[in-house]
Structure formats: C-alpha cells, structure tokens
Amino acid sequence: MGKLESKVAIITGATGGIGFAVAKRLGKDGYTVILNGIEDEDGAKRVSELTAEGITAEYYSFDVTKDEEVTENITKIGEKYGKIDVLVNNAGGIGIRARFEEMTTAEYKFVMGLNLDSVFFASRAAIPFLKKGEKASIINYTSNAAWNGAGPGAGIYATAKGGVQSITRALAKDLAEYGIRVNAVSPGTIDTPFHAQIKATKPELFASWKNTILLGRLGEAEEVASVVSFLVSDSASFITAETIQIGGGQALGI
C-alpha cells in the first residue's frame, strides 16, 4: 500500500485535449494525477510535461472499453496508493458517424462502449478505493446531444450520452451513503484537437460554430478543467447528481 498523504486522481482519455487540461489543473491543485490512454508515446510525453511543472504524474495504458483491462489497471492504481480520491471519466467521443439503418451492431457496441460502458467499468473498479478516499468524487461527461439527439450520424453517441446523464444520477444515489459525490459536466464546442480535421479542411464551417454560442466564441479546455477542479473541491461539498453546462450558452440555441 502506498502513501496516503497526496490526493490521487485518475483521468481517463487524458493524453490530449480536455483530458490533459484536467490532469494539469488537478496536478496544480496538488493531486497525484494518473493519466490513462492508449497512445503510449503521447502518454509518456504528457507525463514528462507535467513532471517538468512539478506535478506528480503517471501514465497507465488501457482501453476503457475493455472491462478486464479497466478493472486490472484501476485496481493496481488503487492498491499502489491505498485509495482513489477522484475519478474523471473523460474518455469518449462520437467514434463512428453512421445513420441508424447503416450502423452495424459492432459499430453500435463500440460507440456505446466508448461513452457509456467505460463509465460503468471505471466507476465499478474505482468504488472500493473511492470509499477509502478523502471526500471522494466521480466526474462524468455528458453532452447537449443527450438532450437534442445530436445531428444525423451521431444518434448513438447521443443515446450513450443520455445514458451517462442517467448513470451519473444513479451513481450519486448509490454512493451518497459513503460520502462519495458524483457529478457531470457537459462541455459545449471546445477548441481542442478533437476538431482539428474540420478546422483544417473546412475553416469557414469551423468559424461559423461560434454563431451558435451565446457568448460568441468557442470554449477553451482550461475552462472545462476549472469547473472539474471546482466540482471535486470542498467548495462543491454539497453538490451531487448535477450536470454543469460549460458551453457559453450554446444549449439555449440561438
């Protein structure tokens, strides 16, 4: 069993974009941060970047859609540190775009696995160690798609995010007796490498997205990270089962 002094945070899908911004912010908040991903070279680079800033960080390579890999690795982390204080289920994405009649069963299972099964697998594995944590909490990621059904080709992504919305509330009910809080964030359009292809190939379309946002601009990954930092802090000690919109008013539709 490892030392119990430092708080420990696991962030899935943390080798870039919002996930890495969250890892950096929590690291600056004093957490030992455990980054997960499947791109090992990127993982090593990110750990080096964080270490250079005085942040204690590690990288664990595992696929969040595979329950055995998730359980094995999160158990290793929990046993090494003796606890887990924060789990950020950041991994996810549209995965595959396909209309309902065209989507294969394998594609459906992949998108659901990436966005919803991964939350269940990681949370289930972490709970025994979250119980040993200090004012522990889980943060999930949902999306406007959970409410509006998303655009053509992203319907299963929307379906999965609707499930994340529900599992957030269900976990909050399930874990309240242990003092473990569970909340979700719902990022709007955030300027990250996630949109790099559209930005490069269709710059006019990318630029037009800000017109759908009340504040007239895209979000920054650090703006999501700051909300995650708040939700896991003592300042949010009486907040659970909630979803925080981080979209500059995008959910209102203008």
Kindly state the tokens that stand for 115.
Answer: 């966005």
The H or E element that residue 73 is part of is helix 67-81
Contact of 90 with 66, CB cutoff 8 Å: no
Task: Give the Cβ contact number of residue 5 at 10 Å.
Answer: 7
The H or E element that residue 37 is part of is strand 32-37
60, 108, 141, 157: which is the annotated catalytic residue?
Answer: 157
157 given a catalytic annotation? yes
- Four-CA torsion 166, 168, 172, 178, nearest 10 degrees: 140
**Residues in the chain, total:** 254
Contact of 167 with 116, CB cutoff 8 Å: yes
Cα(210)–Cα(203) distance, integer angstroms: 12
Cα(77)–Cα(8) distance, integer angstroms: 9
Residues that are catalytic: 157
